[in-house]
Amino acid sequence: MASVLSVEPTAISLQGAVCLVTGGLGFIGSNLVHRLIAEGATVRVVDALVADHGGDRRNLAVTQVEPLIAEIGDPAVGDLLRGADMVFNFAGQVSHTSSMTDPERDLHLNAVTHSRFLELLRRAAPKARVVHASTRQVYGRAIRLPVDETHPANPVDVNGVAKLAGEQLHMVYARAYDMAITSLRLTNVYGPRQRLSSDELGFLPVFIRLALTGGMIKLFGDGSQRRDCLHVDDVVDAALAVAMDPAGIGRVYNVGHDVDHSLAEIASMLIQLTDKNCTVSVTPWPEHHERIDIGSFQSDSGLIAAEIGWKASTDLRDGLRSTLAFYREYPWYLSST
Amino acid sequence: MASVLSVEPTAISLQGAVCLVTGGLGFIGSNLVHRLIAEGATVRVVDALVADHGGDRRNLAVTQVEPLIAEIGDPAVGDLLRGADMVFNFAGQVSHTSSMTDPERDLHLNAVTHSRFLELLRRAAPKARVVHASTRQVYGRAIRLPVDETHPANPVDVNGVAKLAGEQLHMVYARAYDMAITSLRLTNVYGPRQRLSSDELGFLPVFIRLALTGGMIKLFGDGSQRRDCLHVDDVVDAALAVAMDPAGIGRVYNVGHDVDHSLAEIASMLIQLTDKNCTVSVTPWPEHHERIDIGSFQSDSGLIAAEIGWKASTDLRDGLRSTLAFYREYPWYLSST
């Protein structure tokens, strides 16, 4: 993946920029931290290391970053915000099923703590450039494909409701207090540093774990549901491109991949890329899953392409191949709790 | 206003029905309670009597109802829910400006407590018919008029964000747990039993108070912003019509008035209807108000008319006249704290 700096040269540089990454010990956050360090930024991290989430200290073990272990609404985060040029608010709870078994926890982690964070932000760093990670889950079941930003937001689970509230709070602050905030609705993301051991963080980490360990990939229904999958490096590219371009201020962008695949195709691709005895089975939907499933989904990322010049560049097969290589090198991700 | 029972005869009767009204000591809730009692229902009430909100024990003083004073998420509400045939979830915080000065309180009262309430509801009364009060505030600034339910929901303040989350939680529960829930996006409501002493509960109670006390009605900007205003009796009609018709299950309906008026027209109508020396002035927008103002708004209530057969029937001038007569009879509403 080319550096965003070479794609869209701007006057803004990451060299020496003070950046705060929330959820910086998690999957996407830690990949962003590694990239920011490589680009010469000074990086601060806050992460609550919430049980069952993607955060793990080992994701930043090779760096000099000393993370603050706290919720993003903790008053101590105000100190990390002071002097920040850029803020990447990537903390959140991502499990759809957990959001239904403990709705209040999801509302707390995806909306209430973000409200506290925004209050800290507008006092401590009102001029910072802010990028917030939202999700395509806010749309719910697609009534038309591909889904652009004008598609109605009708979430099917508490996670989608709470993430939408978190996103809209960011937009309210952008307008009410003239803050430089952009929110990105991310599609299904895969790549290095994802916690693979959980069944609750999306289908991609489960498929990757089973492909590497030789288990059986269960497809609910007939496996024909389609998804666009995004390599985490593409997400990092998008976040940096947005942070360095004022065109996105006050905007919400889809961040997805132009090419979609059926879950059956993705499973079969993973089996081809591994030499383990992994198999695929088709199984009826468990009822509690089916009621919050969204069928096929395909993001339309035309708006961010037009306004910021970002477009996903990682082919799924290439991305999965390098991802599998990463996890062969760091097998503890397969069993990390 | 004709009884909904005579408008749309159904097999479902309110006679003997066990009904829970949340926010039942408040403006809309207490009007609903009075009507339910008149129709022969057995009424239970929960109200948190939150400071600065519309709840007041005197609103139900002439009834036999013994309200539970608690948040709607309190476990004791589970006892009130057991055996309920109909649930009218009308509790909430309505001040736009308060939502910006204390965002977390608004999220708590409009989203988190509703999440707790829905968990109690699905356990204690999973088959009850449920009507939730949402608000046109979820739309934010209208990008087209009139605003129907397909208009994007882009709230401009924390109140709109939190109310939308509360509404969407109700829809998630309707789908995920097969519950008979409808949510109503109410426009600006006026009528008896509204707390007139606050400047934070919308422009209508302020205008009505000033018209009755002879103060000066301040119009921000030039007073040309338009609103459709709904008499509380029409809201009660809509809630009962929806509760008695399964067609609305899982639906969100606008509940507004077909006729809109400018704020200047509404102020002048009130002055004509009173003999006090009330005047109107035009004043520039205070900045913190302007940033969360939505310009003109006109609801399109065509969907509920087509599917349920409800339509607002109270002309604004008639409604204001009877409302003023009510407050002349009960002047304590003008100074109640």
pLDDT at B202: 85
Bond into B192 cis (ω within 30) = no
Cβ contact, residue pair A168, B157, below 8 Å: no
Q: How far is B246 from B214, CA to CA, in rounded Å?
A: 47
Model pLDDT, residue B59 = 96
Which residues lie closer than 8 Å to B22 by C-beta, 6 or more apart?
Answer: B29, B45, B46, B47, B72, B77, B87, B88, B89, B90, B91, B117
Question: Given an 8 Å threshold on Cβ–Cβ distance, is A107 in contact with B104?
Answer: no
pLDDT of residue B215: 86
B8 pLDDT band (50/70/90 cuts)?
very low
B154 and A171: CB-CB below 8 Å? Answer: yes
Residues in chain B whose beta carbon is closer than 8 A to a beta carbon of chain A?
100, 103-104, 107-108, 111-112, 115-116, 118-119, 150, 152-158, 160-162, 164-165, 168-169, 171-172, 175-176, 288, 291-292
d(CA B194, CA B205): 7
Residue-level pLDDT at B12: 67
Percent of chain B with pLDDT over 70: 96
Dig out the tokens for A228 from the structure.
Answer: 């666009």
Mean of pLDDT values over A98-109: 96
Q: Which of B186, B239, B231 is nearest to B14 (CA)?
A: B239
Strand ranges (E), A74-200: 86-89, 129-135, 180-186, 188-190
Please state, for a pLDDT cut of 90, what percent of chain B lies above it. 81
The least confident of A269-283, B43-57, B223-237 is A269-283
C-beta atoms of B164 and A165 within 8 A: yes
Note whether B168 contacts A161, CB cutoff 8 Å. yes
**Mean per-residue pLDDT, A302-312:** 98
Per-residue pLDDT tens digits for A55-98: 999 999 999 999 999 999 999 999 999 999 999 999 999 888 89
Give, to the nearest 10 degrees, the angle between helix A203-213 and helix A263-273: 30
Q: Is the pLDDT of residue A6 over 70?
A: no
Q: At B284, is the pLDDT very low, low, confident or very high (cuts 50, 70, 90)?
A: confident
| pLDDT at site B10 | 45
Query: Between the CA of residue B62 and those of B30, B37, B59, B120, B276, what are the distances in Å?
Result: 11, 11, 8, 30, 30
pLDDT tens string B256-267 = 999 999 999 999
Q: What is the pLDDT of residues B114-164, one digit of tens each?
A: 999 999 999 999 999 999 999 999 999 999 999 999 999 999 999 999 999
Say what the pLDDT of residue B192 is.
98
Find, in chain B, the residue whose alpha carbon is nearest to that of A119. Answer: B103
- Which residue in B154, B168, B292 is closest to A155 by CB distance? B168
Tokens, residue B168: 């969407």
On the question of pLDDT at A11 being above 90, the answer is no
Compare CB distances from A161 to B104, B157, B172 and report the shortest one's residue. Answer: B172
**Segment (H or E) for B285:** none
All residues at 6 or more sequence positions from A178 whose CB lies less than 8 Å from its CB, including other chains: none
Question: What's the CA gap between A83 and A79, in Å, rounded?
Answer: 9
How close, in Å, is residue B336 to chain A by CA atoms? 31
Place A12 in a pLDDT band, splitting at 50, 70 and 90. Answer: low
Contacts of B160 in chain A (CB under 8 A): 168, 172
Tell me the C-alpha distance between B157 and B173, whole Å.
25
Q: Which residue has the tokens 């009660």?
A: B236
Give chain A's contact residues with B (Cβ, < 8 Å): 100, 103-104, 107-108, 111-112, 115-116, 118-119, 150, 152-158, 160-162, 164-165, 168-169, 171-172, 175-176, 288, 291-292
Kindly indicate the confidence band of residue A293, based on its pLDDT and cuts at 50, 70 and 90. confident
Q: Å from A83 to nearest chain B CA?
A: 24
Helix (H) or strand (E) holding A111: none
Q: At what angle are helices A113-124 and A158-176 packed, to 10 degrees?
A: 20
Sign, CA dihedral B317-B318-B323-B324, equals: positive
Percentage of chain A beyond pLDDT 70 is 96
Distance CA B108, CA B282 (A): 36
Q: B154: buried, middle or exposed (CB in 10 Å: 19+, 13-18, 0-12)?
A: buried
What would the pLDDT profile of A155-201 be if each residue is shown by its tens digit? 999 999 999 999 999 999 999 999 999 999 999 999 999 999 888 88
pLDDT at position B337 is 64
Pairing label, strands A226-231, A260-262 = antiparallel
**Contacts with B168 from chain A: Cβ below 8 Å:** 154-155, 160-161, 164
**pLDDT above 90: residue A32:** yes
SS3 A5: helix
Enter the pTM of the model: 0.94
Give burial (CB, 10 Å; 0-12/13-18/19+) of A62: exposed
- The CA-CA-CA angle for residues A121, A123, A129, to 5°, reads 45
Read off the pLDDT of residues B13-39 as tens digits, 9 standing for 90 and up. Answer: 899 999 999 999 999 999 999 999 999
Which of B123, B148, B172 is the best substitution to test chain A (most A C-beta atoms within 10 A)? B172
- Asked if A227 and A263 count as a contact pair (C-beta separation under 8 A), the reply is yes
Distance CA A114, CA A181 (A): 13
Task: Tell me which chain B residue has its CA closest to the CA of residue A171.
Answer: B156
For residue A98, the chain B residues in CB contact (below 8 A) are: none
- Is the CATH code 3.40.50.720 the one for domain A16-334? yes
Question: Which sequence spans correspond to the domains of chain A?
Answer: 16-334
Contact in structure between A254 and A304 (CB atoms under 8 Å):
yes
| pLDDT bucket at A263, cuts 50 / 70 / 90 | very high
Nearest to B336 by CA among B48, B49, B28: B49
Best of B161, B177, B178 to disrupt the A interface (most A CBs within 10 Å) is B161
Average pLDDT over all residues of chain B: 93
ipTM of the complex: 0.93
Per the model's pLDDT, the better-predicted residue between A223 and B277 turns out to be A223
Q: Which of A100, A108, A169 sits opposite B176 (nearest CB)?
A: A100
- Round to whole Å and give the CA distance between B180 and A290: 19
Looking from the CA of A332 toward its CB, the CA atoms found within 13 Å total 7
Q: Report the residue of A99, A102, A109, A115 to disrupt the B interface, i.e. the one with the largest count of B CBs within 10 Å.
A: A115
